[in-house]
Amino acid sequence: MSKVFNWQLGREMDYPREVTSPQKQIGWIFDTNKCIACQTCSIACKMTWTSGRGQESMFWNNVETKPYGSYPTAWDLEVMKKIGPGSWEEGVYDGQTVFEAADGRKEKVAGVLPSDEDWAHPNHGEDEIAGGTMPQGMHINEETHPLWFFYLPRICNHCSYPACLGSCPRNAIYKRPEDGVVLIDQSRCRGYRECVKACPYGKTMFRPNHEVSEKCIACYPKLEKGLQTQCVEQCIGKIRGQGWISNPKEGVREDHPIDYLVHIKKMALPLYPQFGTQPNVFYIPPTHVPADYLAQMFGPGVAHAQEAYRTIKKDEKLAGLIQLFGSTPFILERFDVRNGIAKGFDKDGTLVAEVPVTEPTVVRDHYDKKRDVYRLDVT
Ligand code: SF4
Ligand code: SF4
C-alpha cells in the first residue's frame, strides 16, 4: 500500500502498489457534443484487435447512450453502490475511492465481476431518452430542453493508478514507463479475473478460450510511431484528440493540446474521478444535459466546462484547437492558433495539420439558371 496524490481528487489517497510515474502519460479528449454513435470507432478497434474466437462480446472501444445505456450492464451504478456517497468541497473529494472502499481482508479493490449476460448487450439502452415522453407539439429550444440523452464513447483510461494493475495477484499488469500505457502480460496472466472485477470502468475482459484477460492496448504499435489510435483516427465525428497529459504538480504546457483543454481551460473532465484511478481520457461534457446529472459523472467542473464550450466562438485559440481534432493521423505534440488558422505539429516539430478556425460559408441560389435545376442544399 502506498500514499499517492491524485490531482483529480485534490487529495492524497491509498493505492495498493508502489508507483513510479511514467516519463510521459498518454491521454485523450472526447467531445461528447459531437459524437453521433456511428460506432465507427468500435468497429475500427474490433476489426484491428478483437475479431478472433472468444472475443465475440469484447469491445475495447464501445459507445453507450447515457443515462440508460451501459456496457457491461450497469457498470457505473454497481461501482457507485460499492464506494457509497461522497461530495466535493472546493475541488476536494471527501468520499471513498475503489481502493479505500475495499475490504482489505478479501480484496485490494472494491469491484463487481460482471456476468456473461452483462457483456452480451453492448447496445442496450441506445437512443433512449430521459426526462419523460415527448407530447405532441413539443419542440426543443435553448431554454427548455427537458428530454435528453447523450453518447458516451469509452476506452480503457490507461489510468495513472490502475485498479486492474493494483488488483492482480500475479503482477501480470504493468504500466509502461515510456508512455503510461497499461498492458497485461499474457504469459503471466492465469485468468483469475481479479482485474475484470477491479476495473471500475469495465475495461478488462476475459477471453474464455485462452483463459486470460485482455484489454485495450492503446494501439501501441501505432503510438510508438507517433500515430493516433485506430478509434481516434477513424472517428467520423472528429470528436477525438490524442496527446500527452502533464501532471499539474510538475507544470503544464500552454501549447500542448491536452494540457490546454484539461488544465488551463478546464473544458475537458475525467470520467467518474471519484473512482480514484486518475483516468487519462477526458470528456467535454454535453451542453444540453442537466449539470446535476453530469456532476456525478464528471465531477465539480461541469458547469464551467459547459459554459466554456457554449462560448467557444469568443475564444479563437480554443475553437481552433477543437478544429484540429480529426485533421491528422499524427499525435499532436504542439499547436498554435493565430490569424484564423490552427496548426498542429508532430513529435519532430513538423507541421502535420492546418485548418481554418471558421469554415467559410458559401450561399448558393436556390434556382440555378444556367443548369435549370433547383438546389436542395444551398449553404
Ligand atoms: S466514431 Fe466518433 S462519432 Fe462515431 S461513435 Fe465513435 S466517437 Fe462517436
Ligand atoms: S480503465 Fe480499467 S483497465 Fe484501463 S487502466 Fe484503468 S483500471 Fe485498468
For ligand 2, is residue 156 a contact (CB within 6 Å)? yes
At 81-120, the pLDDT tens digits run 999 999 999 999 999 999 999 998 889 999 999 999 999 9
Look at residue 142 in the predicted model and tell me its pLDDT.
Answer: 61
Distance CA 199, CA 133 (A): 35
| Percent of the chain whose predicted confidence (pLDDT) is above 90 | 91
Tell whether the model's pLDDT for residue 219 goes beyond 90.
Answer: yes
Look at residue 379 in the predicted model and tell me its pLDDT.
Answer: 75
Least confident of 126-135, 159-168, 212-221: 126-135
Tell whether the model's pLDDT for residue 17 goes beyond 90.
Answer: yes
At 324-358, the pLDDT tens digits run 999 999 999 999 999 999 999 999 999 999 999 99
The reported pTM is 0.94
Look at residue 139 in the predicted model and tell me its pLDDT.
Answer: 74
The count of C-alpha atoms lying within 13 angstroms of the C-alpha of 10, restricted to the half-sphere facing its C-beta, is 12
Tell whether the model's pLDDT for residue 25 goes beyond 90.
Answer: yes
Distance CA 193, CA 268 (A): 32
**Confidence tier at 194 by pLDDT (50, 70, 90):** very high
Q: Using the atom order of ligand 1, give the atom closest to the CA of residue 39.
A: 5
Mean pLDDT of the chain: 95
Look at residue 143 in the predicted model and tell me its pLDDT.
Answer: 60
The C-alpha cell at 306 is 459547459
Q: Summarize the confidence of residues 176-193 as an average pLDDT.
A: 98
Tell whether the model's pLDDT for residue 134 goes beyond 80.
Answer: no
- Residues lining ligand 1, Cβ inside 6 A: 35-41, 63, 151, 153, 235-237, 239
Q: Summarize the confidence of residues 221-235 as an average pLDDT.
A: 98
Residue with the larger pLDDT of the pair 323 and 378: 323
**Is 167 contained in some domain?**
yes
Domain count, the chain: 1
For ligand 1, atom 4, name the residue with the nearest CA: 38
Look at residue 131 in the predicted model and tell me its pLDDT.
Answer: 84
Q: Summarize the confidence of residues 27-33 as an average pLDDT.
A: 98
**Contact by Cβ (8 Å): 307, 265:** no
Upstream peptide bond of 200 is cis (omega within 30 degrees of 0): no
Look at residue 102 in the predicted model and tell me its pLDDT.
Answer: 97
Q: Using the atom order of ligand 2, give the atom closest to the CA of residue 158.
A: 5
**Is 231 contained in some domain?**
yes
Q: Which residues constitute the domain of residue 101?
A: 2-134+146-306
CATH of the domain at 297: 3.30.70.20
**Is 151 contained in some domain?**
yes
Tell whether the model's pLDDT for residue 16 goes beyond 90.
Answer: yes
**Confidence tier at 49 by pLDDT (50, 70, 90):** very high
Q: Summarize the confidence of residues 185-202 as an average pLDDT.
A: 97
Tell whether the model's pLDDT for residue 144 goes beyond 70.
Answer: no
Residue among 231, 155, 228, 169 at smallest CA distance from 198: 169
**Confidence tier at 146 by pLDDT (50, 70, 90):** confident
Out of 38, 123, 151, 229, give the residue to mutate to test ligand 1, the one with the largest number of ligand atoms within 8 Å of its CB. Answer: 38
**Is 359 contained in some domain?**
no
**Is 334 contained in some domain?**
no
Terminal-residue alpha carbon distance, the chain: 60
Distance CA 376, CA 200 (A): 48
**Is 226 contained in some domain?**
yes
R_g of the chain computed on alpha carbons: 22
Name 306's Cβ contacts closer than 8 Å, sequence gap at least 6. Answer: 285, 287, 291, 294
Upstream peptide bond of 300 is cis (omega within 30 degrees of 0): no
**Is 176 contained in some domain?**
yes
**Confidence tier at 1 by pLDDT (50, 70, 90):** confident
At 284-336, the pLDDT tens digits run 999 999 989 999 999 999 999 999 999 999 999 999 999 999 999 999 999 99
CA 86 vs CA 81, 89, 96, 272, 277: distances in Å = 11, 10, 7, 12, 16
**Is 279 contained in some domain?**
yes
Burial of 88 (0-12, 13-18, 19+ CB in 10 A): middle
Out of 29, 32, 39, give the residue to mutate to test ligand 1, the one with the largest number of ligand atoms within 8 Å of its CB. Answer: 39
